[in-house]
Structure 1
Amino acid sequence: MSRRWIFADQLGPHFLDDHDQQVLLIESKAVFRRRAFHRQKAHLILSALRHRAAELGDQATYVRAETYRDGLRQVPEPVEVCHPTSRRARDLVRSLERVTVLPPRGFVTSTTDFTAWADDRRGAMRLDDFYRHARRQHRVLLDGDDPVGGRWSLDADNRQPPPKESEPLDVPPPPLPEEDDIDAEVRYDLDRWAAEGIRFVGRDGPRLFPATRAEATDRLRHFLRHRLPSFGPYENAMLGTDPFMAHSLLSPSLNLGLLDPMEAIRGAEQAYREQDAPLSSVEAFVRQLLGWRDFVWHLYWYFDAGHRGGDRVGARRSLPAWFGNLDADAVQARCLADVLAGVRDRGWVHHVPRLMVLANYALQRGWRPSEVVDWFQRSFVDGHEWVLTANVVGMNPYADLGQLSTKPYVGGGAYVNRMSDYCGGCRYDPKQHLGENACPYTAGHWVFLDRNRERLPSSPRLVRTLRQLDRLDDVPAIRDQEKERGSQAP
């Protein structure tokens, strides 16, 4: 009889077929030796893996080894494993004897269904099209065959700037987990590994995210009841005084496999049906899970491996040390300093700072997409290659030139000013693109468009912006200014 091998992102009960199935968990030290992970990410992974082993008790064999191959040698019987979430891990399990690879789990739409949908497109694939397809296929938020409320997306209703008072939203904070003896053991081991030369980035701190299914379901229930109603209106806003706002903070739990995405989707739908949350908030949350999360998972496998390293917008510069090392204290631009400090201190910021502060800055400076993907993966507690390839390569660096989106997610200081409370206390002026007080995002926006205008495909969404660029008479001076600034922290 085969033993089920589960990776550290396959920890929920839906990755097993029977309650009494024999399980193998392997803790590979080489995973942390190869790359400098955020200290809190390493802690969360190891804590979740060891907590799962403790829950399973005699049902589990827990092996600590240098590599997965070394660990597998300690188990004599055949093993089976659900399809891993990275190409590297997939190639590994396929190369091993006595290992049977099962179809992937932890997502809603099957690989077969997505491939059939994508093949029919014969070109650019759009989230909106897939989202409608998935809503119909899985019967989510429908009245008959039509979307509830008459519209598939209420995104246009959810673009409110933050409250002018710059005070935290009036929502209860998410429940925080309580650390236990397993967490203490993990912290001791990571200290010992660091003394041995294994490098981490970021700061250690209390564990902020669930490491068990019980903790994850508790956070899900709390979000659906207390935070989901306020999620939609401000989902695209940023507050320096409130890094969590009304976001669910469930992405680490979903990406560790502690939660099945469909239970979160049905929970949100039930909240709408029972009038506990408005449709605008529920639809926004469902779109993130049923739409975007599944979409980027399948695109990771649908496109070839070279998609990650695309540089068709001339992005060939390396990440500077201050960014790679999370040196927020070196940064004067208030938005970037605060967001980078959030990554350093928590290993997490919500999706808008990721896209419009961090990845936007990387895009404007022409940093290599492969290095940006690697940085996000190592630095965020929920960072996985399958998540980041489409998000970082397809949206911000736009290195695929429009396969996934109709325009690059690039913006100037005006966007940050409109959607956050950052610019009021910043030394840079979002209205200025030239001079000592020129906002690095405003100047960087124009330099990016000027540098890549011949590479960017024709798109109605870009025409207006490019016309504005043509009306600027000081573009050469902006180029020289940004060249002089170079890779220094802004």
Structure 2
Amino acid sequence: MPAFQQQIDSTQPTPADIKNRRWIYIPYDRYTDRTGPLTAQPPADTGIVIVESTAKALRRPYHKKKLAVLISNMRHFALEQRAKGVSVLYHLSPHSHGQALLELQRKRHLPTLTCMTPAERELRLDLATASQQGLQLQLVEDTTWASTTQDFLNTYGPYQHGKSYVMDRFYRRMREQTGILMQNAKPVGGQFSYDAANRSPYKNEVPIPTPPAFPPDAITREVIALIESTYSHHFGTTENFDLPCTQSDCDLFWRFFLDHLLPNFGRFEDAMRDDHLQLFHSKTSVLLNLGRLLALDLIRDVADRAATEAVPLASAEGFIRQLLGWREFMRHLHEQTDGYRLIADHVPQESRPRPQEPSPNQTPTAAKAYQPTEPSTDPYAGATPSALHASLPLPAVYWGVKSGLHCMDTVVAQVISEGWSHHITRLMVLSNLATLCGFSPRELTDWFWFAYIDAYDWVVEPNVLGMATYADGGLTATKPYVSGAAYINRMSNFCGHCQYDPKKSTGEGSCPFTSLYWTFLERNQSTLSKNFRLQMPYTTLRKKSPAELVQLRTRAQEAIAHLQSFKRPTY
């Protein structure tokens, strides 16, 4: 890494730096000096420690572009801080972050380190283990969030099993507390949510601006070379990498969305296209989750545009609801349930063993095949709630093996290429198919975790185990988010380019989504038939003749068998 190493090594901390500065540990997802302990003193009085851990990168077959955008931003952030006068101790280690910090603190005689409380449960556990072994570390509040733990507790109280946690209540409270899109203690426009106005399919009504690209500089090219040599067996590709990796580029990335995409974001928020995969979505989630952009800054920028009527209120509110509502709500729920482990104590477990992850202090030499093993008491192993008793192995289509389902094949190809797709394709294509078929919620969660560039435990676990698969039994959603082919056909152009007919539910050429939908309802009627939001489909199901039900079951079984007939790649 000559380009980066030469620059970062030229100003190694001196003994005087170590003695006279306040030393701050920067987690791998908090690259910001706009809030937190970095803002508490001048750069000349500040030192930061950054660990680039091979053990963490090898923990899962993380998408190559996730590693590229994370490591490149990490290195650029280090150089940005050094240019401001901050003393930078950048450490490459084959060990976990906690073990690396412990060794570094002892070797360099570092004083107690300050760190914003890590967002990821995994890193919190890692640091706690190191602290028990002697690491001197002081955790302070993570001020990159738009809300506090107390905000959540003031809304719902402490977590209780069996209690419903619907996001709308939290979102309303945060709107009232912050004054965002509020006037005279009332929501601007008279409604808290304009979700109903944000459900139009896209049919080329307005042109879609071309997002800016950020070609890799010398440092990013070095990172890509590192990934191809050290993590070549990982998921995805580094080809055509163009994500922002400097603070200035991240800011430019956001301004483009604000100026060019936000005006039409809300209207087409739920639309899906095979020729315009991004549509009007911002793709800022990866930068938010790295700390490069701050949620409250983005929320205020969008609210300002709405105040001047530069963008439709429905677009502004839809974006703000995702950040101030859903994103904050999910991270609190993950924290309050200990990564869904408290939920798993009460929800039926999957019958299939879960993957066992390496110990946090183990130094893997290579990523191993992602295969299930016996259940483990490892605190890093993921929770496995499965309220609908789903346990079938996740099929090869999620690894890019063509299934013949155009929607699935298109979205998975995008994920392999970009490590990203927008929230409706995640929910109503990828997760919809898994839920309808009864594929393991834990395996789907783990797949999202390594396949997406914006995935961390606090966001992926509650979203997939909760909203996407209903594995939590309805803790976060009032019904499973499932559909047959009709929804996909209405909201996308996928079906027009598919070999299957969305208007046929059985027989040759029929789209399997519809038969899978009805058999899903039939299979889970003891659990779901009394759900007030599913009364209409269950009424329709009861009217189907025995002969039609047999045909639907047969078609659904054929579809599942077809998906499971392909060999799944291992990582």
TM-score by length of 1: 0.94
Deviation, 1:120, is 7.8
One-letter amino acid matched to 2:248: A
- The question of whether the paired residues in 2 share the 8 Å contact of 1:26 and 1:64 is answered with yes
Counterpart for residue 438 of structure 1: 510
Name the CA distance, whole Å, in 2 between partners of 1:69 and 1:91: 9
One-letter amino acid matched to 2:62: F
Give a deviation string over 1:73-97, Cα, whole Å, max 9, x none. Answer: 1233121211112222111112222
From 49, 58, 71, the counterpart of 2:74: 49
From 425, 443, 451, the counterpart of 2:523: 451
Report whether the alignment pairs 1:143 with 2:168: no
CA change 1:182–1:312 in 2 (3 A) is same
Counterpart for residue 415 of structure 1: 487
- The question of whether the paired residues in 2 share the 8 Å contact of 1:154 and 1:283 is answered with yes
Name the CA distance, whole Å, in 2 between partners of 1:177 and 1:487: 43
Q: What is the aligned-residue identity percentage?
A: 33
Name the CA distance, whole Å, in 2 between partners of 1:392 and 1:169: 32
From 414, 425, 429, the counterpart of 1:342: 414
Counterpart for residue 28 of structure 2: 8
CA change 1:69–1:133 in 2 (3 A) is closer
Give a deviation string over 1:204-252, Cα, whole Å, max 9, x none. Answer: 2222322222112111112111111111111011111101111111111
Superposition map of 1:165-184 within 5 A: 167=204, 169-184=206-221
Give a deviation string over 1:433-465, Cα, whole Å, max 9, x none. Answer: 212212121111112111111122732211111
CA change 1:170–1:386 in 2 (3 A) is same
From 259, 267, 271, the counterpart of 1:225: 259
One-letter amino acid matched to 1:331: S
From 39, 43, 61, the counterpart of 2:64: 39
Name the CA distance, whole Å, in 2 between partners of 1:258 and 1:38: 19
CA change 1:377–1:487 in 2 (3 A) is farther
3-state SS in 2 of match to 1:235: coil
Count of residue correspondences = 481
Counterpart for residue 499 of structure 2: 427
Give a deviation string over 1:185-219, Cα, whole Å, max 9, x none. Answer: 1011112214xxx6211122222322222112111
From 116, 124, 148, the counterpart of 1:82: 116
Counterpart for residue 314 of structure 1: 389
Deviation, 1:169, is 4.6
Name the CA distance, whole Å, in 2 between partners of 1:248 and 1:178: 18
- The question of whether the paired residues in 2 share the 8 Å contact of 1:252 and 1:381 is answered with yes
TM-score by length of 2: 0.81
Give a deviation string over 1:78-120, Cα, whole Å, max 9, x none. Answer: 2121111222211111222211222223211101121221218
- The question of whether the paired residues in 2 share the 8 Å contact of 1:174 and 1:222 is answered with yes
- The question of whether the paired residues in 2 share the 8 Å contact of 1:225 and 1:276 is answered with no
One-letter amino acid matched to 2:88: A
From 80, 95, 98, the counterpart of 2:136: 98
- The question of whether the paired residues in 2 share the 8 Å contact of 1:12 and 1:257 is answered with yes
Counterpart for residue 185 of structure 1: 222
CA change 1:99–1:457 in 2 (3 A) is farther
Counterpart for residue 313 of structure 2: 279
CA change 1:376–1:121 in 2 (3 A) is closer
Give a deviation string over 1:405-424, Cα, whole Å, max 9, x none. Answer: 11111111000000001111
CA change 1:48–1:332 in 2 (3 A) is same
Name the CA distance, whole Å, in 2 between partners of 1:273 and 1:116: 29
3-state SS in 1 of match to 2:424: helix
Deviation, 1:62, is 0.6
Give a deviation string over 1:333-370, Cα, whole Å, max 9, x none. Answer: 11111111110111111111000000111111112211
Runs of 5+ in structure 1 lacking a partner? none
From 124, 133, 139, the counterpart of 2:173: 133
Report whether the alignment pairs 1:394 with 2:419: no
- The question of whether the paired residues in 2 share the 8 Å contact of 1:168 and 1:239 is answered with no
- The question of whether the paired residues in 1 share the 8 Å contact of 2:467 and 2:476 is answered with yes
Counterpart for residue 483 of structure 1: 557
Name the CA distance, whole Å, in 1 between partners of 2:418 and 2:215: 16
CA change 1:369–1:105 in 2 (3 A) is farther
CA change 1:358–1:130 in 2 (3 A) is same
Counterpart for residue 424 of structure 2: 352
From 93, 100, 125, the counterpart of 1:71: 100
- The question of whether the paired residues in 2 share the 8 Å contact of 1:402 and 1:457 is answered with no
Name the CA distance, whole Å, in 2 between partners of 1:322 and 1:155: 31
Report whether the alignment pairs 1:382 with 2:454: yes
Counterpart for residue 213 of structure 1: 247
- The question of whether the paired residues in 1 share the 8 Å contact of 2:159 and 2:337 is answered with no
Q: Which has the larger radius of gyration?
A: 2
3-state SS in 2 of match to 1:218: helix
Give a deviation string over 1:253-277, Cα, whole Å, max 9, x none. Answer: 1011101100100000111112211
CA change 1:485–1:281 in 2 (3 A) is closer
CA change 1:430–1:210 in 2 (3 A) is same
Name the CA distance, whole Å, in 1 between partners of 2:68 and 2:513: 34
Name the CA distance, whole Å, in 2 between partners of 1:404 and 1:19: 43
One-letter amino acid matched to 1:129: R
- The question of whether the paired residues in 1 share the 8 Å contact of 2:396 and 2:563 is answered with no
Name the CA distance, whole Å, in 1 between partners of 2:256 and 2:302: 12
Deviation, 1:168, is 8.5
One-letter amino acid matched to 1:139: G
3-state SS in 2 of match to 1:201: coil
Report whether the alignment pairs 1:270 with 2:304: yes
Name the CA distance, whole Å, in 1 between partners of 2:233 and 2:156: 41
3-state SS in 2 of match to 1:485: helix
Superposition map of 1:18-29 within 5 A: 18-20=41-43, 21-29=46-54
One-letter amino acid matched to 1:66: P
RMSD of Structure 2 on Structure 1 (CA): 1.8
- The question of whether the paired residues in 1 share the 8 Å contact of 2:437 and 2:520 is answered with yes
One-letter amino acid matched to 1:101: L
Deviation, 1:487, is 4.8
Runs of 5+ in structure 2 lacking a partner? 1-20, 344-382, 565-571
